[in-house]
Amino acid sequence: MPTSHLTLPIALDAMGGDNAPEAIIRGAYQALLRHPGLKFLLFGNEQAIQPLLTKLPKLEQAAKIVHTDMFVAMDAKPSQALRRGKGTSMWMAIDAVKQGQAFGVVSAGNTGALMAMSKMLLKTLPGISRPAIAALFPTVKGECVILDLGANIENTPQDLFYFAVMGNAFARAVLGLNRPKIGLLNVGAEDIKGHEGLKQAAKLLTNTPIGLDFRGFVEGNHIPMGDVDVVVTDGFTGNVALKMAEGTARLIRTYIRGAFTAGPISRLAAWLASAQLRGVKHKLDERKRNGAMFVGLGGIAVKSHGSADAFSFCNAISVTVELAAHNINEKIITEMHKLSDMDLTDTLKDKA
């Protein structure tokens, strides 16, 4: 991804995550190799960060440390983090985006705190009342976008509609699709299935003036088959589905590992197929898809897995670069502008 028109640096919460600051700094270094020209603002404890930077002179040249002694604990309650969080590495990194000093922020810290602070500092985009967490998921055809993955626990039909608008922009930006296929996650593909709220959301998506390519309801098994490019769901269901998929992939890795260490012939086979097995492992590597965006906010905020290592964190940085380089928020704002004359409540009434 060209970073040439990203003149601003990226803001990193160098103290967030289980492996901070090491994984953050080494992840930033990997990201610099991948995106030459990228610049970094590193928020956190200078005494902890500087020795790591000294070992990576290339990164040291591209980075600036903004010192703070304070950071948000991984188990802090979001409400507490919000009240007392000013001056923490997370807060300052988000604030750099707000102040126009960075094109986006990445943190591997406390998810709830990151969401709460991002909402407070970056505000939601015009017309969006609830941001969502969006991320990529592998499919037999490539990748799809799923949202919401847990920013919200319950959602209205209107929320789901806006998630589709934002997911559409995300897929256009990150997957390079012209007109992404959009599906609404349900327990059956038939129109009669599911909650009333889902049926209402389907009505809204069928009657949009922005011409979304809405394909109706999809079921859980359709996601990995790549039936649609954007999967829209409430945050509870999305979170459970994604984690269930991660757990299933881990289960299967356990089976495969067991199969290929079962005896000398299996081990020989594993050796012969090692490149191919590595390929499968690579495709399943969750770290590759690390980096979930808080879509709907007035700035790009990306959450990395808390347990991210350097490779994983580097990928979260890459997602942020892609989202910024493809102007995801401008895309969302344009769509929302087209929708501004549309009264969702009226649409629901008309079609009831």
Q: Minimal distance in Å, beta carbon 161 to its own copies?
A: 19
Q: Minimal distance in Å, beta carbon 116 to its own copies?
A: 13
Q: Minimal distance in Å, beta carbon 265 to its own copies?
A: 6
Q: Is 342 exposed, middle or buried (0-12, 13-18, 19+ CB in 10 A)?
A: middle
Residue corresponding to tokens 């990226």: 10
Residue 199 to residue 205: CA distance in whole angstroms: 10
The DSSP element (H or E) to which 57 belongs, if any, is helix 57-62
Residue corresponding to tokens 């929302």: 336
- In a 3-state reduction of DSSP, which class is residue 214? strand
Total site size for its own copies, rule CB under 8 A: 56
Backbone angles phi, psi at 297, to 5 degrees: -100, 160
The stretch among 87-95, 204-212, 258-266, 339-347 that binds its own copies (CB under 8 A) is 258-266
Residue 73 contacts its own copies per CB under 8 A: no
Cβ 237 vs Cβ 245: under 8 Å: no
Residue 240 contacts its own copies per CB under 8 A: yes
* Binding residue (CB under 8 A) for its own copies from 19, 107, 200, 233: 233
* Binding residue (CB under 8 A) for its own copies from 150, 157, 291, 299: 150
Q: Minimal distance in Å, beta carbon 284 to its own copies?
A: 7
* Binding residue (CB under 8 A) for its own copies from 242, 297, 314, 316: 242
CA dihedral sign, ordered 298, 304, 305, 306: negative
CA dihedral sign, ordered 178, 105, 299, 85: positive
| Residue with smaller CB distance to its own copies, 57 or 263 | 263
Residue 349 contacts its own copies per CB under 8 A: no
Cα atoms in the 13 Å half-sphere on the side-chain side of 111: 16
* Binding residue (CB under 8 A) for its own copies from 33, 73, 120, 268: 268
Residue 147 contacts its own copies per CB under 8 A: no
Residue 103-122 contact track with its own copies, rule CB under 8 A, x = bound:
--------------------
| Residue with smaller CB distance to its own copies, 33 or 273 | 273
> What stretches of the chain adopt beta strand conformation (E)?
10-13, 40-44, 63-67, 105-107, 132-139, 142-147, 181-185, 213-218, 230-232, 292-295, 301-303
Q: Which residues in 124-143 contact its own copies (CB under 8 A)?
A: 138-140
User: Which spans of this chain sit near its own copies (rule: CB under 8 A)?
Assistant: 77, 138-140, 150, 153-154, 185, 187, 192, 194-195, 219-225, 233, 235-237, 239-252, 254-256, 259-260, 262, 265-266, 268-270, 272-273, 276-277, 279-280, 283-284
